[in-house]
Amino acid sequence: MSDEDKRKSLLEKARSLPLSPGVYVMKNTVGDDIYVGKAKELRRRVSSYFQAKDRLAKEAALVENIDDFEYVETGSELEALLLESRLIKDLQPKYNMMLKNNELYPFIEITWDEDFPRVFVTRQKKNNDSRYFGPFVAAGDLRAALAMLQRIFKFRICKRKIDASDKRRKYQRGCLNFHIGRCAGPCRDAISKEDYRKRISSLCRFLTGQKKDLLNDLREEMKTAADNLHFETAAALRDLVEALENLNDYPELDDTLAPAPPALEPERGLVALQKALELDWTPRRIEGIDIANLQGKETVGSLVYFIDGLPFKDGYRRFRIKTVEGQDDFRCVAEVVTRRYGGIIKRGEDMPDIVMIDGGKGQLHAAADALAQSGARVPVLLSLAKKEEAVFVWGREEPLALSKRNLGLRLLMHIRDEAHRFAQHYHHILRRKALFGEEDQSPVTS
């Protein structure tokens, strides 16, 4: 069979694949596994290998060596990501050899030696009691997957040291993750050590591909809890089962709105910011606000949320300006501040440690007046002016004298730039919808 006939035969086979998530394994003429990949839609992804187009040299070499392929359907793109990682680790395909150097690629680490284990992404496997899963090919996909899994298993990602025997936990305030249902709240004694570790054990089973058996066991536990009149436990297990059964209802992994990566070490930035602001405590939660418009039209506001110096996308908010006509940044800032922090007061939630406004003294005064009128108080209110990168802090006459190399200032600049990026993205969405006469149906618009 000629190369052209082989390509056409493989393309015909690929076009018979399902339009569902899964993993494919490419094989050479002697049946060796030479490449493993995942797909959101198997048919389209695998077919693309056998359609004529310009390719990079590495991809062209792979395609020339493909003689056949196999595939496995999965229930979701997340499950495909996890299966891809396991198969690469087991099969060690030739064209996935870059994963041989495991230290360069991300893992999921679970700190099993802690009373309430943390779950996060790491690039180094240490000689400790943690449990590791991976390596994974794409760090972006892994972080998106972990955010999805946190919604289901409600594990903690903070760096707090939590002692199960500390009775003072019941008096602690929960962080944003707890309030929005992303963490079970071990820091405030909202879940027992035993129940939390059961959740993490379930997560580990899911990560190793035991979803079917896990669901059967969870259903059995749910029935037992209900029979014993433990209705809260039964309800929690029911929610976990439903979430695992409906993984396809969660957002896709390749999210174009992923936050920009930080340009510095977050912890060092926070320490430097604490020193610059002369605080006797280290700020953990920072919100950044920006306004975007084009000649006074389609004006929008954005709010980005950072925890421990890192972007927390589930805390991001968008605001379509409702009360201001024309170009008036001060009034727009006031509207966003009023809606955001007045809403926090009504919901009884905690205020952030720092609120940062993109702008100068005028925007800062507008924000301070709006906070006062809404009855809200934040520990630190400041603004960051462009060009000079001057930091104006409410209650101080002069801006902070910070070098542009100062890590605290660089952290604020990163938050400001992220708020600007998020505002511009929403602004472009509204302009496009206005042009085509569509309604704004963005799910994260406040």
pLDDT score of 329? 87
Q: What's the rounded Cα separation, in Å, for the pair 88 and 23? A: 11
CATH architecture of 266-436: 2-Layer Sandwich (3.30)
| First-to-last C-alpha distance (Å) of the chain | 60
As annotated, the residues of the chain forming the CATH 3.40.1440.10 domain(s) are 3-98
DSSP string, 69-90: EEEEE-SSHHHHHHHHHHHHHH
- Among 8-17, 53-62, 228-237, 414-423, name the most confident range: 8-17
pLDDT score of 251? 56
pLDDT score of 260? 52
428 pLDDT band, cuts 50/70/90, is low
| Prediction pTM value | 0.60
- Among 54-63, 94-103, 159-168, 318-327, name the most confident range: 159-168
State both tokens at 257. Answer: 């709105």
Residue 38 has pLDDT above 80, yes or no: yes
Q: How far are the Cα atoms of 72, 85, 206, 247, 399 from residue 244, in angstroms, in the given order?
A: 19, 19, 9, 5, 51
Helix (H, G, I), strand (E, B) or coil at 139: helix
Name the β-bridge partners of 391. Answer: 384, 400
328 pLDDT band, cuts 50/70/90, is confident
pLDDT score of 226? 92
pLDDT score of 263? 52
**What is the rounded average pLDDT of the residues 223-249?**
86
Share of the chain above pLDDT 90, in %: 48
pLDDT score of 426? 63
Fold held by 3-98:
GIY-YIG endonuclease (3.40.1440)
User: Residue 136: phi, psi to the nearest 5?
Assistant: -115, 155
As annotated, the residues of the chain forming the CATH 3.30.420.340 domain(s) are 266-436
pLDDT score of 203? 95
Q: What's the rounded Cα separation, in Å, for the pair 38 and 227? A: 42
Tell the burial category of 384 from Cβ atoms under 10 Å away from its Cβ (0-12, 13-18, 19+).
buried
pLDDT score of 123? 84
Are the C-beta atoms of residues 183 and 168 closer than 8 Å to each other?
no
Are the C-beta atoms of residues 392 and 399 closer than 8 Å to each other?
yes
CA 7, 13, 18, 24 torsion: positive or negative? negative
pLDDT score of 47? 93
- Tens of pLDDT along 157-191? 888 889 999 988 888 877 778 877 889 999 989 99
Tell the burial category of 24 from Cβ atoms under 10 Å away from its Cβ (0-12, 13-18, 19+).
buried
Please name the amino acid found at residue 142.
L
Q: How far are the Cα atoms of 160, 343, 381, 417, 440 from residue 308, in angstroms, in the given order?
A: 11, 23, 17, 17, 32
